[in-house]
Amino acid sequence: MVFGGEIMRGEKRSMAARSYCLAIIVLASVLLSGCTNPIGPPEPTASLTVDVDQINSGEPINFDARESSTPDATVITQFSWDFGDGSKTTTTQGLTNHVYSTPGTYEASLIVENDRGGTDETHWTIHVNAYPVIELLSQPMAKVGESITLNAEGSSDPEGGVLAWAWDLDLSDDSDGDGDSRNDVDSSAPSITMLLNKSGEFEGAVVVTDDRGASAREAFQINVSTRTWQVTWEQQRVTEDWDGYLKQGESWTYSHVPGIASRLMEVNATLTLT
């Protein structure tokens, strides 16, 4: 009985040991499975460039992702573009373009996807410049011989940039001789005064440019009329006293040529005794 009991106790210990080893193996398997990730699809590498990263509002910008790559045995199947202003598009080629109509700073993003479902994303910051705002004070009507002032000094740049002015005072006159009468720079001051020496209707323009190259243009017209003069004629009589003596048949001649300040141009008189 004792011997048999020892045998039974030995069998129980052996089963317990086997259960303990099995538990360790299961636990190790669980731990190892928690520390390793399944192998995913091969990922591409997104690459993005632009022709300019600073533009004026309304101008196009070109995006180029042709340098993007993907591992061997895979191909890029899709380019997903987000321009940051609410506009998005998808292409199968790595080229696209976009126009930003509102000034500001935008973050454009690109997601590249290959035929195995792998993706990669990259970003680019775009600065969109606003055009200057022209404030032009001019006098639309004047007369020959008068001077008028054209003032664009109150013009401003939304970003607070430095402004430059260019005045073309007569769009019909090619003052610089380059064959284009509408691009002359007759003055670069913010405000100018011009003397009107001939009558007619004249059209000019001012161009205001900020320090980032954005330009705004505004035309102006001046109607120059001829002066009207009111002439009042005054009759003046010249009286000359003569107390000489004439014989029968003799005559006395009087001639007067006025000076520079005179109103009377010339007087000739002949007194003949008859």
Alpha-carbon 196 to chain mean position: 32
> Six-digit token pair at 61?
């910008």
Report the distance separating Cα 95 and Cα 256, nearest Å. 94
The answer on pLDDT for 191 being more than 70 is yes
Percent of the chain that is helix, strand, coil (3-state, to 5) = 10, 40, 50
CATH architecture of the domain with range 141-225: Sandwich (2.60)
Report the distance separating Cα 256 and Cα 242, nearest Å. 14
Mean pLDDT within 139-168: 96
Q: How far is CA 75 from CA 49, 68, 234, in A?
A: 20, 11, 102
The answer on pLDDT for 65 being more than 70 is yes
Which residues are bridge partners to 200 per DSSP? 224
CATH number of the domain located at residue range(s) 49-129 in this protein: 2.60.40.10
pLDDT at residue number 215: 96
Mean pLDDT within 107-116: 98
**Please, which pLDDT band fits residue 162 given cuts at 50, 70 and 90?**
very high
The whole-model pTM stands at 0.64
- The mean predicted confidence, pLDDT, of the chain is 84
From 2-11, 66-75, 76-85, the region with the lowest mean pLDDT: 2-11
